[in-house]
Amino acid sequence: MKLQPEAAGNEYEKLKAPEVVSYSMYSVASTMMFSVVGSVLTYFYTNVIGINMLMVGVIMTISRVFDGVSDLTMGTLIEKTHSKLGKARCWVLWMAIPYSLAIVLLFCVPAQASQTIQAIFVFLSYNFSQTICYTAIIMATGTLSQMMTRDRDSRSQLSIWRSIFMSVSQFIVTGYTIRWANALGGDQAAYIRISMIYAVVALISLLWVFFGCKERVVRAETVTDAEGRHVAKAVPMYVQFKALAKNKYFWMMTIATFGLYVYLTLYGTNLAYYCKYVLQNVNLTSTLSLALYASAIGCLFLLTPLVRRFGKTNCCRAAMAVAACGSIILLLIPEKSIGVGVMVIVVAMWGVGKSTINGTLYACVADAVEYSDWKYGVRSEGLTHSASSFGGKLGTGVGTMLVTGFLSMAGYDGTLATQSVEAVNMIRNLMIYGTLIIWAGLFVLYLFYKLDKIFPTIQKELMERNQKKAQSS
């Protein structure tokens, strides 16, 4: 087999709008499952099916252990994949149908069965959807974003526009699923019908990604196999893990992902309870979701020029400060004065923090891949994204555990029409103190992120290095 140089020209190609849109459609598919799990599923299990909240929390927390392992497993599989359909695109196609079916399966709990049978079903369906299907799609699309281009502006556009699509989808799923289900009778059948619609949307979105995106980035040293495929020269996994462990910017982005997903899960899971028992109207979930995602989408449209002017790091620091101030408002304003109006303002401020991190996250992870290539000579798109994604999975698990654990300790019972004072106070405190700790912690984290300053040098030196390799071969 003959050594092939990297396709240095093509891989720095600026992406056109149709391909950016095609990639961003994956966010629609991911939201159909992530937002269902993060904002609807716990409420469905406890208040519709009647499963004990503590049991739900234990199942979801334990499942995250398996989910975390699956991230690294899937990342390794992607690194070893050499298909005619690409390294990452092929997984989007292969998992499209199982992923869509898994969304519906989450709501098919045998309602008349014993708690034990229900718990087993929840465990199996949850792990099939999250540990297998969701992991495969997230790993594949995350790796795909790093293989579509090395152009920094294009990567930022991918990150920002995927966040815009995600925010619109999250607004719909988080804000209206329970409301629509109540309009259809509020029973299990209503949730299943809605999940079928989400499944179809997810399937169409994933096929759109597959047919609309291309892989351009080829490793610096590849071989051409008998079928004409570019196959990366093997790098031992222990070498990749060693480089990953030394990559400080990878760890920062993993922690940032963890913090973001703790917030998303804590806020999303707690929102229905907060609206029902604190604001006394569960349908206000749509109002507060509108505030969050309208703010997020507005911020994302401004993010491109702001990032170009001030850099990703400075934008993230400013956004974390705004979001933290939102939580401080809830802390300082007297309890009786915290109504819908105040919550709309606060949630809009949280939207600024959410959208800025989400809008820059994939670009920052891609930058961490380039940093590893520059600093250690090791490039591992799939493994880097899988390990970073583990932070998100862990954050989702911790967020779920915080809500279910603390509410269980406070005596919450989903079968009761009225909750105890202790349970209501806990719902309120999670919304105030939980978010404040998250935003303040993320602000401190971004004080140590310095990659923006040195990245132009990294990109220039990598380009020169790859050109020399191409000339020597």
Nearest alpha-carbon partner for 141 in 33, 294, 227: 33
Helix (H, G, I), strand (E, B) or coil at 233: coil
Rounded to an integer, the average pLDDT of 49-68 is: 86
DSSP state of 411: T
Question: 14-214+239-472 in CATH: which number?
Answer: 1.20.1250.20
By CB neighbour count within 10 A (0-12 exposed, 13-18 middle, 19+ buried), where does 180 fall?
Answer: middle
Q: Are 392 and 263 in contact (CB under 8 A)?
A: no
Helix (H, G, I), strand (E, B) or coil at 414: coil
Q: Are 228 and 62 in contact (CB under 8 A)?
A: no
Domains of the chain: which residue ranges? 14-214+239-472
By CB neighbour count within 10 A (0-12 exposed, 13-18 middle, 19+ buried), where does 226 fall?
Answer: exposed
Q: How many Å apart are CA 5 and CA 468, to the nearest integer?
A: 10
Of the chain, the percentage scoring pLDDT greater than 70 comes to 93
Residue-level pLDDT at 370: 87
Residue-level pLDDT at 221: 47
Residue-level pLDDT at 118: 96
Q: How confident is the model at residue 417 (pLDDT cuts 50, 70, 90)?
A: confident
* Most confident segment among 7-16, 113-122, 360-369: 113-122
pLDDT at 38 over 50: yes
Nearest alpha-carbon partner for 247 in 457, 356, 453, 388: 388
Q: 3-state SS of 48-81?
A: HHCCCHHHHHHHHHHHHHHHHHHHHHHHHHHHHC
Q: How many Å apart are CA 452 and CA 28, to the nearest integer?
A: 29
Q: Where are the beta strands (DSSP E) in 152-258?
A: 222-224, 230-232
Structure tokens at 54: 């503590």
Residue 462 CB partners (closer than 8 Å, separation 6+): 370, 373, 374
Indicate the pTM of the whole model: 0.76
* Cα of 301 vs its chain's centroid, Å: 19
Q: Sheet of 222-224: strands edge to edge?
A: 3-4, 222-224, 230-232
pLDDT at 2 over 50: no
Q: What is the pLDDT of residues 102-159, one digit of tens each?
A: 999 999 999 999 999 999 999 999 999 999 999 999 889 988 988 898 887 888 888 8
> How do the residues of the chain divide into helix, strand and coil, expressed in percent and rounded to 5?
80, 0, 20
